[in-house]
Amino acid sequence: MAGGSWHNLRVMLRKGLSLLIVLHCAVLLVAPYRTAHDPTARDARDWLERYTRPLSFGVQWSFFAPEPGPPPVYVEWELLDREQKSLERGTWPETWDGFAIRERQNKRTQAGRFVSQNDLQAEAVLLPFLCKTHPGAHAVKLWRVQETLPRMEEVRSGQRKIGDRVGADHHYVSHSFCPEPGEQNG
Amino acid sequence: MTLSRWIKGVWSGWERFWFEAESELPVRVFRRVFAGLLLCFYALRTPDLMLFYSKNGILPLSVMETVMDMRWRFSLLRLFSGDLAVWGLHFLFLGALMALILDWRPRASAIVAFVLHVSFLHRNYMIAYGMDLISTFLLFNLCLTSKSGKTILDSVALRLCQFQVCVIYGYSGLEKLRGTSWWSGEALWFALANPQLARFDFTWLADYPGLIAFATWSSLLWEVYFPVLIWVPRLRYPVLVFGVLLHLGIALTINIPFFGLLMIVSYLTFVRPSELERLCLMFRQSVFKKSQVQPSGADQFSV
């Protein structure tokens, strides 16, 4: 009798677990499609996100896809003083790459890709950061830069070299003033 | 065959697959090696902890909320945002990974590691890439595992890890089919000609377009078919060997070595227990031999 009830409990447990597995696997399969335009699909996605977002499961698996890249992207900055004279120029991430283990630069490159996605992100992230780390700066100018990669035949024929920065697109982002001391908040 | 017999057959197959996998050794070995890799990877972020997670760093909480959609994304670092808390949680995370390596309370350690991993991820999503994202899923699965590795949940965790690897390759492969450079056979060139990615100067490779095309197409084919071929017993090891070579190649040529190593480590979940045991034995013997050689060498030296 005890054996029978144990068996029933075991079967129930396995069925319950199976349901959870099916739901979880369905989410893992559906979650990568986040760009639904259909209203019903969008509603379903919003509901799904209550599961995927807390666990960080809403990942679009697209390593090196649909194209490998992106090509080198970064933000160029120029710091200005009160007379609008140039104090310093640089890029984020820095092109200097002297870390013994490249992982540290990879994180900076990834941050560079994020801030280079649009003007809002570039300005919102880098303006306060640059002002904070360069106390003498009064204003900051920003440009988003996207380089192009040379094709194989261009390198073969000597027309271009890897990393030559030919044809890089400089997109002007903003010329903004640093917040006055006391305005900055963490 | 009647419908009820067919359903019974499917159910028993389902049960065998999900609940009766030989999980003990694969789970225990994978857990320790994976935790070791994560420990190395995340220890490396220690010097940049304040830059990326502090309120005085590149992404203060107020800025993060303007540039990222944080709905349903919880993080302990939003509750405890002081520098001391960031340091404390970082070292607690590393401690949890160390506990997983040592097999000390693995389920509790995995839960702590998962919560902290997601907390750091959600505190600064802009620096997350493949390694961080894949680790989330694998750490989540490890939360189901027990010390013995013999329970029903260990079997489920093992299968979920395998399923996850198939999803990653399947989606990445199909997504690549939308890219023109993968069809033209130039995709790998564009990865190797990208100074933000490539480890060395690969200008010389421009003279070998056939080699680039072969490598591009073979890796694409392998990736697309991985989720199917890995379940064919005869093809499992050839598929895994190709994967190991591919990821070692990526680790050597492109500056994302940890990503490649993570994928190779995830293959441990596909290795049959008997062969995994042989691998462990070989590893132990090689380490044991070395430690035996040293004392005898030292004796000869002293004589």
Rounded to 10 deg, the angle between the B3-19 and A2-30 helix axes is 80
Angstrom distances, CA of residue B301 to CA of A18, B294, B295: 63, 10, 10
Considering the domain boundaries, does residue A102 fall inside one? Answer: yes
With a pLDDT cut of 70, the percent of chain A lying above it is 90
Considering the domain boundaries, does residue B300 fall inside one? Answer: no
Considering the domain boundaries, does residue B65 fall inside one? Answer: no
Out of A91-100, B68-77, B257-266, pick the least confident: A91-100
User: What pLDDT does residue B296 have?
Assistant: 38
Length of chain B: 303
Chain B residue numbers touching A105 (CB-CB < 8 A): 255
Shortest CA gap A57–chain B (Å): 7
* Pairing between β-strand A169-177 and β-strand A73-80 as defined by DSSP bridges: unpaired
Considering the domain boundaries, does residue A100 fall inside one? Answer: yes
Same domain? For A81 and A135 the reply is yes
Considering the domain boundaries, does residue B178 fall inside one? Answer: yes
Q: What is the pLDDT of residues B138-164, one digit of tens each?
A: 999 999 999 999 999 999 999 999 999
Domain that holds residue A34: 2-55
Same domain? For A79 and A51 the reply is no
Residue B71 and residue A65: Cβ atoms within 8 Å? no
Shortest CA gap A82–chain B (Å): 24
Chain B residue numbers touching A153 (CB-CB < 8 A): 206
Considering the domain boundaries, does residue B58 fall inside one? Answer: no
Same domain? For A114 and A88 the reply is yes
Number of domains in chain B: 1
Q: What is the phi/psi pair of residue B202, to 5°?
A: -105, 30
Give residue B299's pLDDT band: very low, low, confident or very high (50, 70, 90).
very low
Q: What is the pLDDT of residues A18-33, one digit of tens each?
A: 999 999 999 999 888 7
Chain B residues 159-188 with CB within 8 Å of chain A:
160, 163-164, 167-168, 170-172, 175-182, 186-188
Same domain? For A94 and A47 the reply is no
Residue A21 and residue B121: Cβ atoms within 8 Å? no
Mutate which of A45, A59, A63 to disrupt the B interface (most B C-beta within 10 Å)?
A63
Number of domains in chain A: 2
H helix runs in chain B, sequence order: 3-19, 24-43, 49-53, 61-67, 76-79, 83-101, 106-123, 130-142, 152-176, 180-184, 187-192, 209-229, 233-253, 257-266, 273-302
Point out the residue among A14, A103, A152 whose CB comes nearest to the CB of B15.
A14
Chain A residues 1-30 with CB within 8 Å of chain B:
13-14, 17-18, 21, 24-25, 28-29
Considering the domain boundaries, does residue B179 fall inside one? Answer: yes
Out of A87-101, B94-108, B201-215, B240-254, pick the least confident: A87-101
Considering the domain boundaries, does residue A146 fall inside one? Answer: yes
Considering the domain boundaries, does residue B60 fall inside one? Answer: no
d(CA A100, CA B85): 28
A63: which 2 tokens? 């390593």
Domain that holds residue B235: 23-47+75-284
Q: What is the pLDDT of residues B185-235, one digit of tens each?
A: 999 999 999 988 898 899 999 999 999 999 999 999 999 999 999 999 999
